[in-house]
Amino acid sequence: MKVELLTQADIKTLSVVKDKQFEILDWRLYDRLNIAHGNTATTFRFFQQSIGNPVGTTKRVTNMSIQGQLPSGYKFVCEKIALEVRPVSGGVVAGTFLDLAAVTDYGCYEFNIGSRQYLEGDVKELIGGKLFGFGANAAAYAAAFGMRHARMEYSPVIPATFNFDVTVTYDAAVNPAVGVDMICFLIGKIIRPLQG
């Protein structure tokens, strides 16, 4: 099996094709990772956990049913990649802006399917705007014109049973004051067998 590349025109055609064996739905795959205070890691791989694995992983954390893969019979057409970052505390505390800026302003990412990269760039592309703040205690996003997350002109199709991930890498470990949650979204279309 190989990875297909679809154009936007292909996707429009695909979405109106009435296949008796499959349904095509707008979908988001998501996965949440935490960078805790005292962190020493420089690399974070999304989509490598599934509901229940590791133990205690819930749908709040990920909607993956298999670690790093889609179930048999499924495909995912990836049109866009987005990253959301937020403080773990749920509120704004001293150092919040600096913590979020360290996560969004200094890393790079790769989108991998199987053994190949299909997109790479600066993490700022994934948040869809520029992080700004007023002092160390406030943070917000300004939507930048022309920056719509990492939207691809072509859309790679993740086949069932192929490993895939989004990897974020930093030159040095990010050590937040209170902790930062990163949520990665793959946005596109899921192709799955019809029920019954």
- Please give the class, per CATH, of domain 25-193: mainly beta
Encode the chain (196 residues) as per-residue pLDDT tens digits. Answer: 678 888 888 887 776 666 668 888 999 999 999 999 899 999 999 999 999 999 999 999 999 999 999 999 999 999 999 998 888 865 556 667 778 888 888 899 999 999 999 999 999 888 876 555 554 445 454 444 333 567 888 899 999 989 999 999 999 999 888 888 999 999 999 999 888 6
Q: How many CB atoms lie within 10 A of CB 52?
A: 12
The edge-to-edge listing of strands for the beta sheet with 107-113 is: 43-46, 164-170, 107-113, 116-122
Angle at alpha carbon of residue 69, lines to 67 and 71, rounded to 5°: 105
- For residue 6, what are the β-bridge partners? 155
* 3-state secondary structure at position 106: coil
Question: Nearest Cα to 133, choosing from 164, 179, 98?
Answer: 98
Q: What is the pTM of this model?
A: 0.86
Q: How many CB atoms lie within 10 A of CB 185?
A: 18
- Report whether 108 contacts 149 (CB < 8 A): no
Domain assignments of the chain as residue spans, ordered by start? 25-193
- For residue 183, what are the β-bridge partners? 32, 84
Q: In angstroms, rounded to a whole number, what is the distance separating the alpha carbons of residues 45 and 21? A: 33
CB neighbours of 52 closer than 8 A, spacing ≥ 6? none
Helix (H) or strand (E) holding 85: strand 75-87
The per-residue pLDDT for 15 is 63
Q: What is the DSSP letter of 95?
A: T
* 3-state secondary structure at position 111: strand
